[in-house]
Structure 1
Amino acid sequence: MQLSRPLVVLLNRFQPSAAAVMLVLAILVGLGSGTGVLLFRWSIDIAQEFYWHQLAVVLSSYSSWAIALIPIIGGLVVSALRLRLQQTEAGFDNLSNAVAREGGRLPYAQIPLKTAAAALSLGAGASLGPEGPSVELGSNIGSLLGQLLRFSTDRTRLLVGAGAAAGLAAGFNAPIAGVFFALEVLLGDTFGTTKTNFNSNVSVVVIAAVVSALVAQIGLGGQAAFNLPAYDVRSYWELPLYLGLGLLASLVAVVFTKALQVAREVFAGQVVGFTWMTKLSMPSKLAIGGFCIGATALVFPEVMGIGYETVESLLQDAHFSVDLLVLLLFTKLALTAISLGSGFVGGIFAPAIFLGAILGSAYGQVLSLILPDFISVAAPPAYALVGMAAVLAGTVRAPLTAVLLLFEMTRDYRIVLPLMAAVGLCAWLVEQLQSGQISTLGAKKNPNTEDVDALSTIKIAEVMSVNPLTFKYSTPILQAAQIFTSGYFHSALVIDDSHHLLGILTTQDIERALSLPNLSHHQLSKLTVQEVCTKEVLHTFADESLADAIRRMAARDLQQLPVVDRNATSRVVGMVDRQSITTAYTNALTKQAIADKIASNKAESPHIIEPKEADEILASSEVKSDDLRTEALSGERTL
C-alpha cells in the first residue's frame, strides 16, 4: 500500500476524467490477468512434467503401482503452501463474499501462494480445474488496483468484477462468457443504478476481458478448446429429448454441489462418524485426498486432473460403453468432492464440464438404442455438448455464462435451440431444488433469498418503520403524487377510516394511473388512491425474521412489505423495505467481522474491546429509517 499515496497525488494533480481512469485501469487489469493466467498455465505444465515424467520414472522403477503415490506427494507439497495462507478456503466462496460483504477488498498479497498451490494441485492430478484460480487471480489484480488507488467500494467492486471477467476470458479463451460471468455471478443487480452507470461499467468489464483474452491468445494460441465433428439437429421433434437431458443435468448439478458441501464438512469433522477429522493436520488431510486420487487413478485414469482429453474424446464420438460412462460420472463426481474437501486448490468449471459431457454422451447412446425406428436423433457428441453447458449452468447458477462459454469454446452454433432449452430448464430446476440454500459460487451486495443466514436472527421489529407514510383511501392521486415527489418516497399504505389496511400505493401505481389513455384532467383530479393502489398485498409480522421478509419480497419482486398485527392482520404496525434490510444485513456482517477479529486477536491484546462494546459502537452510528422519513416529510403522516 506504500504506492497508494503517490498514485493518488498524481491523480489529484492531473485530475483525469473518471472514464479515462477506468479505461486505463481496465487495460491494466486485462494485461495483468492475461499475463498471470499464462504464467499459471505454464506452471501447471511444468508441475505435470515434474510429477508424471521425472518423478513417475523414478517411482515406476520400484513398482508399477508406485505412481499412485504422486498425488500424495503433491498433496504434501500443497499443504506446505496452504499452511502459510491466512485463508484456507479456496475457490469462489471467498471471492463472492469479498465482493458482497467487504467491498471487493481481497487479500491480494496471498494470490501468488494460492496460484502456486493451484498449479501444484492440478499438476499432481487433483480432479479440479484451472478456471477458478484464473478467475481468482484476475479478481485479486483488480482489487489490488482499487485498494492502491483508494477507490470507493463500488469502483473497487467493479475492478474485481473486471478482473474476474478477464481471468475467465483468458482461462477459457472466451471473453464474451467472461463478461457475462462477471455480470451474472459476481456483480449481480447492483452493477449500475442508472443506464449511464451500467453502460460505463460494462465497458470496463468488456475491455478487461478483451485485453486478457488477447494476451492469452498470443501466449497459448487462438484455437478453439474443443474440435467438433459435423452434426446438427435432425428433427424439431428431437427438442423434447434435449429437455429430458436438461432434467437429468439438474439432478447431476444438485448432487454435485451437495457432494462438494458434504466433502468439506467431512474433512472439517462436522459429519457424524468423521469427527476424528478435526484432530488431523492439513498435511494429513491432503495426504488422504491424494491417496484417494492415486488409488482411483489406477482403475479410472480418465477422472484424474482437468479431464479435457476425455471430453475431447467424447466430442469426437470415441467409443465408451454406457456402463463405463455411468461409472466415470459417479467416480469423477466423488473424486472432485474429495479433492476440494481435502484441501487441494482448483476450480469446478472443468469438472462440471466433464460431468456434463459424460452425462450427455451416455444419454445420447441410450436414445440411439431405444429410438432408432421412431425418430432420427443426433449423434452422442451433440448431447455431450448440450450436457456440458447444462451441468455447468446448474452448478454455477449462470445459464447465460454457460451457453456463451460453450459457444466460444466450440465455436459451433448449430444446436443453439436445444442448448438453450436444456440449459434454461436445468438452471430453473436447480433454483427450485436448491431454493433457500446458500450458493457456493455467487453472492450479491444486496440480501437475497441466498443470504438468509445473517438475517435469520434479526427480527423485523428491530428495523421496521413504525411511522410509515399513510394515505386515507379518499386522497386524490395527484396529491399523493406531489407528496411522493417532494419527499422522495416510493411507497405508502392506503387505509380506511378505521385505520385498516386496504392496499399499498407505489410510484409504479401512480405512473400507470397518469399514463391511462383517454383520461381527462378532470377525471384524473377525481381519481383516488383507493382506485389505483394494489389491493392484494403480501404482509409480514413484527416477530418474524428479516429472512422471512426477504423471501416474501423475492417471491413477488417487491421492494417493501407492510407489517401487521398477528391478531388483526388488517391493522398496520409498520413497514419494512429492502433498503432497511440491506442496512441491517450490512451491520450484522460488520458486527460478525468485528467479533471474528476480536476472537483472533484477543490473546494478543489484553485491552481489546468486547463484542458487546462493538454492538454499542455500531448501534450509536446507525441512522434509523424512521428519523429519515420524519425529516423528509413535513406535516401530518396520514392524509
Structure 2
Amino acid sequence: MWHNTLNLLFISILVGILLGVFGATAAHYFRTGIYFIEQLVSTRFDNANRFILIFCSLSIAAVMISLIKAKFSLIRWHGPADTIFAAHRVDNELDIKSGIASTLAAFFSAAGGASVGQYGPLVHFGATLGSWIKTILKLRISTDIVLGGGVAAAISAGFSAPLTGIIFAHEAILRHFSFKALAPIAIASGTAIVIHNYLWSSSNFMMGLYPGTDIGPMILISIAAGPFFGFVAILFMFTILTFAKIPTQMGLNQFQSFLVAITGLSIIGTFYPEVMGLGTSAIISLTTGSTLLLMAVAILFGKIIATALSLGFGFFGGVFSPALLVGAAAGSIATSVLSWMGIQSFQGPELIICGMAAVAGSVIGAPISMIMIVLELTGSYSLALVSTIGIVTASMISGQLFDHSIFDRQLLSRGIDLSRGRMGIRLMEESITKITSSDVLKFKPEVIVDVAKAEMVKMRLNEAYVNTHEGKYIGKLHLKTLIFAKPSDAIIKYTDTEALNIKSDASLQQAIEAAANFIGETIPIVDRKTETLVGTINEGDLLKMYLDLQGQTIDLEKR
C-alpha cells in the first residue's frame, strides 16, 4: 500500500515537473517566434503595399504548411478535439508526429498573418508532450494524467494563469475529476508558471486596470448581455464549420483552397488589419480605449470571416484567440448600445471583458475556466463575479442551441459523440468479436428432425443453427420445437428464420441494445455482406464485458 502510494507520488511529481518545464518552454518560444516574425515583417516592409505584403506573407506560410503536410504524410491536422477524444479513452495515445507537424503548421499560419489562434495548438502540443514523456519513460499511468498535465502547463504559461490551467485541463479536456490526476496537473501548471516567470518574466496588460466595479447594476447588464454573447459564439462556430466544408463541396485542391484563403484574407487585411494574426493588439485597443460602434461591428464580422477562411481553406491554428477578439468586439458593441440608451453604470471595459470570456468560454466549452481567467488576468474579484453571469448564460444558450463546444461538434462530424460520456464512447468502440464464439452446432436444411434432436441432446444444447450448402445463414433451431416435431421431417420446416441476429461488425452498445428483450441461450452473429454465420454470443459474456468496461471507466474517473 505504502509502496504504491509513494510510487504514484514520485511519478506525479516527476511528470508534473517535466511537463511544466517543457510546456513553459514551448509556449514561450511559440509565441516569441510569431511576434518576432511579425515585427520583422512590419519593420522591414513598413512602406509596402498592404495587400501585396499580406498576400506574399500568407503565400510563404502556405508553402511551408504544404511542405510540412507532405513531409509528415498527414491527411489532416490535429488539435484540441483529438486531445479531448484521447482523454476519453484508456488505450489511445496521441500521435507524436502528428502533434509536432500540427504545431509547426499552426506556427507558420499565425506567423504568416492568418487569422488563427495560438492556444489550441499549444494545448494539443502540451498533451502530445505528455504522451511522448509517457512513452520515453515507459510510465504505467493512465493517459489522462499526462494529457491533463501537458494541457495545464500550456495554459498556465500561455496566459500566466496557473489556476486556470488546472481547471481548464479538468473542465475542457478530461471532463472529470480524480485525485490521482490532480497532483501531476497541479504540479505541471505551477512549474510552468514558475519557469516562465523566472526565465522570461511576464507582463499582463489587464492587471490593475479595474479599481472597482459596481456589482449590482453590472450583474443585471451581464444577464441581459449573456444571450447576445451566446448567439455571437454560435455564429462564430457555425461559420467556421460551414467554411470547412466548402472546399470539398466545390472540389478544390490544396493549391486552389490556399489561393482562395490568401486572396480573401489579403482583401480583409487591407481594410481591417486589426482582424489579422493573433489579434492581441486589437484586443488591447478594445479594452483600453473607446472603439466606435461601426468599427466594433466590422471587427466582429471581419474576424469571424477571416478565421473561417483561414481554418477552412488550408491554414491551421486555434479558435481561442480569435474567439477572444470576437467576444471583445461583441462586448464593445453591447457597451456602445447601452451607452446610446443612456445606461452607463459601469466605469470601464467591464462588459468587453465579460464578452471576451463569454464567447471564448462558449466556443471551447469551458465557462468555469473563463471565470478564472478573468480573475487571474485582471486581479479583480468583483469583475470575475459579475462576468460569471454573462459567461454562464452565454454557455447555456450556445450549449442548448449548438453544442457543448466547437470541438464536440468537430468530433461529432467524425461519428464520435462526447455527450455519451466515456462509457458510451467505449461501448460504441468495443467490438463484440472478443466474445464471439465459433463453437457452434450447424445443420444443413435437409437433415431430419430425429438426427438433429439426437445430436443436440448429445451435446447438451438447446439451440443449433441451420445453414445452406453454400454456408449462408438461414435461422435458429430450438430443441423444444423438435421434441413435438415429426421425426422424419426436414428441420428446415421448424427453423426459426425470424430469430434475432446481430451483424458481425456491431459494437458492444449495439449488441446490448439488440439483446435488451432477448430470451434464449445464444445470439447468432452474422456477416451481413456474405450472409454467413460467424459465431454466437450469450448474455452472460455481454454483461461481463460491460462490467469490465465500467470498472475501467470508474477507475479512470474516480480513483
TM-score, normalising length from structure 2?
0.72
**Residue 84 of structure 1: aligned partner:** 71
Q: Residue 401 of structure 1 is aligned with which of 362, 369, 379?
A: 369
**Residue 439 of structure 2: aligned partner:** none
Q: Residue 541 of structure 2 is aligned with which of 612, 618, 624?
A: 624
Give the secondary-structure state (helix, strand or coil) at the position aligned to 1:17: helix
**TM-superposition CA deviations, 1:447-500 (whole Å, max 9, x none):** 53489899899999xx9xxxxxxxxxxxxxxxxxxxxxxxxxxxxxxxxxxxxx
In structure 1, how many angstroms separate the alpha carbons of the residues matched to 2:78 and 2:431?
33
Give yes or no for the alignment of 1:304 onto 2:292: no
Mean CA deviation greater in 287-296 or 449-458? 449-458
Once the two structures are TM-superposed, the CA of residue 426 in structure 1 deviates from its matched residue by 1.1
In structure 1, how many angstroms separate the alpha carbons of the residues matched to 2:85 and 2:67?
26
Q: Residue 37 of structure 1 is aligned with which of 10, 27, 46?
A: 27
Once the two structures are TM-superposed, the CA of residue 101 in structure 1 deviates from its matched residue by 4.2
- Residue 220 to residue 266, structure 1, CA distance change in 2 (3 Å): farther
**Residue 338 of structure 2: aligned partner:** 367
**Residue 113 of structure 2: aligned partner:** 125
1:417 aligned partner, one-letter code? L
Give 5+ residue unaligned stretches, structure 1. 1-13, 192-197, 464-541, 551-560, 566-571, 575-609, 632-639
Give yes or no for the alignment of 1:157 onto 2:144: yes
1:439 aligned partner, one-letter code? D
**TM-superposition CA deviations, 1:597-631 (whole Å, max 9, x none):** xxxxxxxxxxxxx9989x99999899823467999
- Residue 164 to residue 235, structure 1, CA distance change in 2 (3 Å): closer
Give yes or no for the alignment of 1:95 onto 2:73: no
Give the secondary-structure state (helix, strand or coil) at the position aligned to 1:415: helix
**TM-superposition CA deviations, 1:179-231 (whole Å, max 9, x none):** 11110111113x4xxxxxx2232111000011112222234423225356335
Give yes or no for the alignment of 1:358 onto 2:329: yes
In structure 1, how many angstroms separate the alpha carbons of the residues matched to 2:20 and 2:533?
44
User: Residues 468-479 of structure 1 correspond to what in structure 2 (within 5 A)?
Assistant: none
- Residue 133 to residue 563, structure 1, CA distance change in 2 (3 Å): closer
Kept after mapping to 2: 8 A contact 1:356/1:392: yes
- Residue 115 to residue 627, structure 1, CA distance change in 2 (3 Å): closer
Once the two structures are TM-superposed, the CA of residue 382 in structure 1 deviates from its matched residue by 1.0
Once the two structures are TM-superposed, the CA of residue 16 in structure 1 deviates from its matched residue by 6.7
Kept after mapping to 2: 8 A contact 1:115/1:137: yes
Kept after mapping to 2: 8 A contact 1:361/1:380: no
Q: Residue 178 of structure 1 is aligned with which of 165, 168, 179?
A: 165
Once the two structures are TM-superposed, the CA of residue 391 in structure 1 deviates from its matched residue by 0.5
**Residue 148 of structure 1: aligned partner:** 136
**Residue 21 of structure 1: aligned partner:** 11
Q: Residue 227 of structure 2 is aligned with which of 232, 247, 252?
A: 247
In structure 2, how many angstroms separate the alpha carbons of the residues matched to 1:186 and 1:111?
16
**Residue 380 of structure 2: aligned partner:** 412
Give yes or no for the alignment of 1:382 onto 2:350: yes
Give yes or no for the alignment of 1:424 onto 2:392: yes
User: Residues 379-528 of structure 1 correspond to what in structure 2 (within 5 A)?
Assistant: 379=347, 381-435=349-403, 439-440=408-409, 448-449=419-420
- Residue 95 to residue 86, structure 1, CA distance change in 2 (3 Å): farther
2:9 aligned partner, one-letter code? A
Q: Residue 53 of structure 2 is aligned with which of 67, 71, 87?
A: 67
**TM-superposition CA deviations, 1:50-69 (whole Å, max 9, x none):** 44334x36x92xx5542132
1:261 aligned partner, one-letter code? L
2:355 aligned partner, one-letter code? G
Once the two structures are TM-superposed, the CA of residue 78 in structure 1 deviates from its matched residue by 2.2
Give 5+ residue unaligned stretches, structure 2. 436-500, 520-526, 549-559
1:306 aligned partner, one-letter code? L
Once the two structures are TM-superposed, the CA of residue 232 in structure 1 deviates from its matched residue by 3.8
Kept after mapping to 1: 8 A contact 2:156/2:164: yes
Once the two structures are TM-superposed, the CA of residue 371 in structure 1 deviates from its matched residue by 2.6
1:188 aligned partner, one-letter code? R
Kept after mapping to 1: 8 A contact 2:328/2:356: yes
Give yes or no for the alignment of 1:199 onto 2:188: no
Kept after mapping to 1: 8 A contact 2:16/2:149: yes
User: Residues 304-323 of structure 1 correspond to what in structure 2 (within 5 A)?
Assistant: 304-316=276-288, 318-323=289-294
Give yes or no for the alignment of 1:218 onto 2:198: yes
In structure 2, how many angstroms separate the alpha carbons of the residues matched to 1:103 and 1:228?
46
Kept after mapping to 1: 8 A contact 2:162/2:193: yes
Once the two structures are TM-superposed, the CA of residue 104 in structure 1 deviates from its matched residue by 4.5
In structure 1, how many angstroms separate the alpha carbons of the residues matched to 2:28 and 2:534?
47
Give the secondary-structure state (helix, strand or coil) at the position aligned to 2:203: coil
In structure 2, how many angstroms separate the alpha carbons of the residues matched to 1:328 and 1:296?
10
Q: Residue 344 of structure 1 is aligned with which of 315, 329, 333?
A: 315
User: Residues 544-559 of structure 1 correspond to what in structure 2 (within 5 A)?
Assistant: none
- Residue 457 to residue 20, structure 1, CA distance change in 2 (3 Å): closer
- Residue 457 to residue 366, structure 1, CA distance change in 2 (3 Å): same
Cα RMSD, aligned residues only: 4.2
Kept after mapping to 1: 8 A contact 2:115/2:277: yes
**TM-superposition CA deviations, 1:507-529 (whole Å, max 9, x none):** xxxxxxxxxxxxxxxxxxxxxxx
In structure 1, how many angstroms separate the alpha carbons of the residues matched to 2:81 and 2:275?
24
Asked which structure has the greater CA Rg, the reply is 2
Kept after mapping to 2: 8 A contact 1:92/1:441: no
Once the two structures are TM-superposed, the CA of residue 236 in structure 1 deviates from its matched residue by 1.6
Kept after mapping to 2: 8 A contact 1:293/1:335: yes
**Residue 276 of structure 1: aligned partner:** 251
Once the two structures are TM-superposed, the CA of residue 160 in structure 1 deviates from its matched residue by 1.0
- Residue 408 to residue 104, structure 1, CA distance change in 2 (3 Å): farther
Mean CA deviation greater in 335-344 or 65-74? 65-74
